[in-house]
Amino acid sequence: MLTVEKRSRQIVGKVAAQAAARPLLPSGLWFHDDVRNNFYYASYLHAAASDPDIRVRFDREQAKETAAAVLGRVLELQDRREGSETYGHWPLGLGDEPEAAEPNPLPVELMGSLMLYFFERCGESLPRELREAFETALKAVYDSRFYDRPLREYGHHEAKYTAAKLLFGQFYGDAELLEDGRRSLKAMLKRLNERGMHEYGSQPWFWHWVQAFTCARLLLDDADIAEDLNRMLDYLWSQRSLHYIGGAWAGPHARGLTADAPKDRNVAFDYLQFGDFRLPPELVRAEYAGFLYYEAPEEIRIAAMDRLVPVEVKKKILKPREDGTDRELHSYTYLTDAYAAGGMWERSEEFDNEQHRWDVTLPLSYELGSAANQAYFIHPGQGYAEGDLRHESPYAKILPDRGAILALYPVPEGEDPTIVGVLPKGEWIREERALFGQAGGAYLAVYLRHAYEAEEAEDRVNVRSAGPLGAVVIEAASLEEAESLDADDLEGFADLMRDRAPVFAEDGRSVRYRSLHSRRLELSLGDNGEAEARIDGKDAEFGDYVL
């Protein structure tokens, strides 16, 4: 395995190459969709061009000039209008005319702290005019007081505010601000230890937690604060390790971007920490992963990478409501070295209707290439678009247990009941209402209540099944598990699973299935429309789910 230093240089070199190969727009920027990407790419290009240990295929001096020019353009877009409510902020989406884009409160939250990190680490190597531009921009960020917010939701926004208080408090010798950051950090730690994280499995938000606090840890020199930052980062990486499988993020997600499903592509942070899978040809949403490294404790890294003994992760999520009360959610994930399976028992209305409810996840370490590594179905809901399976309706009831997941879709009459799904590329045997496949080191059995259509795409198999009250059962097994049941190849696995087909009730209100673990699973709809789940004849209970 490569050292962390070499992995860091790999990430820096790869993103820099992407930047060097990307033509600049007439505005002098690479991106108009998100101003932050210009700052990230320029940072990587400057770092790679300045590091003789990173092999590059572009002219180093020209690359430094390009990076400096883009950084200068980004800094120019900051709101410097005296008295403006968005003083010190940047636009987010730049549109056709970046100079006319309205400032947005989001970019400065993380980019402000990362700019301070870049200036501290690389400032001396920048042209004098650019150094002065950074000094002006950072002072405007500090004066904006964007971070001066009370702790309310204890989520990713407050994490970034807290880190900014610490960073700018130290940088500008503001003892009062530094102390405010210290108090906020202790309060957030206390909250996490008592209640856990309610932003479950959200890579975009989770990595903002990691970046903000890693940035603070690397720059701050106060021993007491550093100790609390160590505690915070150890907590974050311990949570990450619970759902880690060969570069992938198994289990349910509060939100996800197209880089998160049905293919885990937001992998730079995991690669730097664990390094147990191959870095993909192109990095997506690397943000500042190549610059910010905090080594998680050895036991956390070992636990994440050692899945020879399967584990069940049962998490209780306290989801705050607007009225100040909590809703209890229950996340279940079963992880082996060949696959993971699980989901959130309860439907939850999340940001942009992006709750990723359940799936079977395959590790990226099995060299699936660019193909999807997740298998799941949804009934399309608000925000759904063809090919984008991140937005589902509330009409799903599930029962996850070890390698199996049962799902019912009681779509009301009058609405299109069609369910859509995705399966990883591999070798598939297709039958009228079932598919049996091998992808990576796992077999998958997929049973549907109604007939289906399956279309082979470049990176996945798309499945569509129409009919009222649809239902799906999926079970995964490793090659070794199947071999122990005398299934030596895919055909043998299909023979084994044909005899175990689930029983879908004629009225579509229940399904029964005996899993490969000899567990009798039953999912049904009660008279009130709520799900009733039983395992081996007993009601599924959440007594052993932990925060």
Q: What is the pLDDT of residues 383-423, one digit of tens each?
A: 999 999 999 999 999 999 999 999 999 999 999 999 999 99
If we measure between CA atoms, which residue out of 11, 19, 13 comes closest to residue 62? 19
Kind and range of the H or E element at 504?
strand 503-504
The pLDDT score that the predictor gives to residue 369 is 78
* Euclidean distance between CA atoms 427 and 474, whole angstroms: 16
What backbone torsions phi and psi does residue 217 show, to the nearest 5 degrees? Answer: -65, -40
Q: How do 244-245 and 520-525 pair as beta strands?
A: unpaired
| Sequential DSSP letters for 413-467 | TTS---EEEEE-SSEEEEETTEEEEEETTEEEEEEESS--EEEE-SS-EEEEE-S
User: Which residues is 442 bridged to in the sheet?
Assistant: 439, 478
What 3-state class would DSSP assign to 409?
Answer: strand
The pLDDT score that the predictor gives to residue 324 is 87
If we measure between CA atoms, which residue out of 246, 364, 263, 367 comes closest to residue 307? 246
Q: Is the distance from CB of 290 to CB of 11 less than 8 angstroms?
A: yes
pTM, 2 dp: 0.97
Q: Is the distance from CB of 239 to CB of 190 less than 8 angstroms?
A: no
What residues in the chain have per-residue pLDDT under 70? none
The pLDDT score that the predictor gives to residue 145 is 98
The pLDDT score that the predictor gives to residue 393 is 98
The pLDDT score that the predictor gives to residue 9 is 98
Contacts of 236 (CB under 8 A, 6+ apart): 206, 209, 210, 213
The pLDDT score that the predictor gives to residue 370 is 83
* Euclidean distance between CA atoms 246 and 206, whole angstroms: 18
The pLDDT score that the predictor gives to residue 539 is 97
The pLDDT score that the predictor gives to residue 204 is 97
The pLDDT score that the predictor gives to residue 509 is 97
SS3 content of the chain, % helix, strand, coil (to 5): 35, 20, 40
The pLDDT score that the predictor gives to residue 153 is 94
What backbone torsions phi and psi does residue 454 show, to the nearest 5 degrees? Answer: -125, 130
